[in-house]
Structure 1
Amino acid sequence: MSTETLTIEKLGMSGDGIARGPFGPVYVSFTLPGETVALAVNRDRGTVMSMSDPSPDRVEPKCRHFGPDGENGACGGCSLQHASDSLYQDFKRQLVVDALKSKALQAEVAPLVLAHPGERRRTVFTARRTEKELLLGYNQAESHHIVSISECPIASPGIVSRLATIRTIASVMAVGAEPFRITVLETLSGLDLAFEGINKMDDRQRRMAVETVLGQKGVARLSLNGEILVEPVKPVIDFGGVSVSPPPGSFTQATKPAEDVMAELVMAHLGKAKRVADLFAGSGTFSLRIARKARVHAVEGEDKALKALDLAARNTQGLKPVTVEKRDLYRRPMMASELKIYDAIVFDPPRAGAEVQTKEIARCGARKIIAVSCNPVTLVRDLRILVDAGYRITSVTPIDQFLWSSHVEVVATLEK
C-alpha cells in the first residue's frame, strides 16, 4: 500500500478512471479524466482520499446509493452516474469505435441510442437475511457486500414501487444467512419474481411464500430455481404485437425501448428476405416480429424459452410459418450446408459471442446478416470472420439499455 497523487488520464472499459502510477496503470472508481486525486494505492487499484481538481464533467449522482459516499455503501449497480451526459455518451460510443479498430474493421458507428431513467423492466437483486433485517439490493463492486437499496433510478416505476413487496416475499423465502438472487421482470400482467440460490425450503415455507404472494398486489408469478411455486396470472410480454409468456428467469432484453430499436434495425435490414434463420432466438424477441414478413427458423438451446416461442407463434394469427429447433449452438453449430437455404441470418448470442457458429455463417452465402451483441469485444471478433469471408459491414449502431454502466448493446448489419 502506498500514497500517490495522480491525474486521471482516461476512462477504462469498465468505467474506472485510469492514472499512470510509478509501476503501471492505476484504476480508480468514481473518477473522471483530468482530475487530480490523492490515492491510497494497492497494486493496480486506487482509493480516492481527496480530490483537488474536479472535472467540469462531474455531475451530482442521481441516486443516494451511488459512489463511495452512497447510503449503505457504494452500490455496484452503476459506475458512471457522476459523469455528464456528453462524456458518458461519448464513452459508450467510443467503446464500439475502439473495438472495431482493434480488429482493423472499417465501419461508421452511428450515434448512441440513448437510455433514460426508469426504463429497466428487468433487474437482478441480491438478497440475504441478517440478524436485524433482510438486505435487498446490489453487490458492491468487486465485493460480496450487499448495498440494501431504497430507490433505483434505472429500474421501472413498476419495480421500484414494489420494492417493499419484493422484500416481504424475500423475507419469507430466505433460509439461513446465505445470499440469493432475485430476477425481477416487469411484465404486462405484473412482476415475475424468479428466486435462485435457495436450496432448503421446507413445505411450510413454500406454503407461506405462496400465501404471501396471493396476499400481495402486482405479482404475476413466483418461482424458485426454475420451479413455479405460484402463478396468480400468467406473465406476458409483447414482442411486436405477439404475446409471449417467458419461462421463469429467462433472458429478455433489459428495456423495452432498446428492444424496439434493435427490432427496427433488424427488420429494416431484412428487407424483402423470404426465409430467415434466427440463431440464439430465446423466447422470440426477433423471430416473432420477423414472422410478420417472412418464414422463420428459430434455433435456441434453452428448451423452455423455445417452447414459449413456439406456443406464442401457434396462438397468433397472421404469421408466416415459424419452425423451431432446440440446439446448443456452441456444441453443435448449424452448418453452412444447413444455412444455405436462408436469405438472411440473425444471431444474438450471449456475451461470449459465437465464434464457431460465425465461421459456418461466413461459409453459407446468405445475402444479409444481422449480428446483435452485448459485448463489443466478442462482436468484432465475429465480424472480422464475416468480413474476411467477403461480407461488408453496412451499419453499426450502439444502443444504451444498461444506463450508467459500462455495458453497451450493438446491432451490426452486413451484406455479401
Structure 2
Amino acid sequence: MSEATAAPETLDDEAVLLVGHGSRREKSNEQVRELAGALESRLRLPVDAAFLELASPAIDEAIAGLAPTVSRVTVVHLSLFAASHVKNDVPLAVQQARSRHPDLTIRNGAHLGIHPALVDLLDDRVAAVEAEMDADRETDDVAVVLCGRGSSDPDANADVHKLARLLYEGREFSRVDATFIGVTEPDLPTTLHDVAKHRPDTVVVLPYMLGDGVLTERIRERTREFDDEYPYVSAAPGDPLGTDDRLLDVLGDRWQEARTESVDMSCDTCKYKVELDGYEEDTGGARAMLRALTHQASHADRENVDDDPHVHDAPEKHVAVCTNQTCAADGAPAVLERLRQAARDSEECDARITRSSCLGRCGDGPMVAVYPDGVWYGGLDSADADRIVSSHLDRDRIVGDLVDQTL
C-alpha cells in the first residue's frame, strides 16, 4: 500500500507506556500504576507502567510485553523536568527497543515540564495549607517557597525558577522563591532564612515532587525546624502533586504531542548540545550516551539486596554503532550486523551491541564506540568488525590502526 493510500492510524492499534523513575518505596510505584490506570480511562486505550530503576517492569520488558499486541507504542514521561533521565536514559532504552522490535513504531514523548495545569495545582496546594493554618493568626502576607529535588542539569534547575515565577505572577503572594532539597543551590534552609528577613506572616513550603517519599519528609522536617527557629513566622509544608486529575491533563497533552511527532525540547539550553559555563565537559551526544550507559551499568552491577528488581547481569562492554544518515550510507548496517554475528560466534565476547544516533563524526564513519573503554573506531567496513570482536571485545586489545579517537 502506498503512503498516499495507507490506512490512517487508529487508537485501537496503539498502547501508551507511562515511564516513572521507580522507588524502593512500593507506595511510590503504586502511584505510577494508579496514574497509568487513570490515564487509560482518560485516553481509552491501553496504558502500562514502566520504571527506569528500582522497580519492575523496566522499559525494555514493558515494550516487549506490548509488542505482540499493538503496532505502535507512545512513551510518556512521568518526569517533572528534562534532566539526564529524560535526555539520556529513556531515549537510550527506546532506541534499544526499536532495534529489538523493528516492526513496532515507538514514539518518545516529553517530560511534564511547565504547564498551566501544574501552576493551578500548586496554587491549590498553597490554598489548602492556608486553610489549615491558625485562623487567629494574621496571614495577609504569604510567602511561598517552591522546593524541587535539585539536579546537575542547569536546564532542569532553571525550570524550577520559571515555575516559581509563574506561580507568583497574578497572585497575591508577597513572594515566591525557588529552592532545592539537594544537589544544587540555593538549598532549602538557606532560602527559608533569607525569606524570614522579610518577616512574612506565613511561609508555605511546597515540595515540587510527584510522590510522598524520603525527600518530601526531609522538606517537612526542614520546615518544622524553621517554624521552631522563627516564632514570628508561621510556616507549614504543602502536599506533593500526588495523583491529581490535572496531572492527567498534562500527560494527555504530552501523549498527543508524541503521537503527532510534535515534541518540543529545550535544545538551546541543553548542556549536552550547547556549551554552558561550568558544564563544558558534558557537551556532545557521545558523552550523554556514555553517561546513560554508565548509569545503567552502575545499577545493574549492584549486589542483589532485598530482591531489588532492578538488578540484572550487565555486559562487560557496550558497543554503539552509528546508523545515522551519513554512516548508514557508508555501510554502517553491514558493520552492525557483522559485529553482532562475530559476537554471537565468539565464546569470549560479553558485549551488548546496539544502534546509535549521530556520534558527531560525520564523514569519518562508519563509527563504532566501545564503552566503558571510551574507544571510538572510524572508517570501518564489515571485515573490520571481526578484528574488533576478536581483539578488543574478546581480549581487551585495542585495534590501534582503526582508532578514530578516545575519550
TM-score, length basis structure 1: 0.24
Normalized per residue, which structure has more helix?
2
Normalized per residue, which structure has more strand?
1
- Between Structure 1 and Structure 2, whose CA radius of gyration is higher? 2
TM-score, length basis structure 2: 0.24
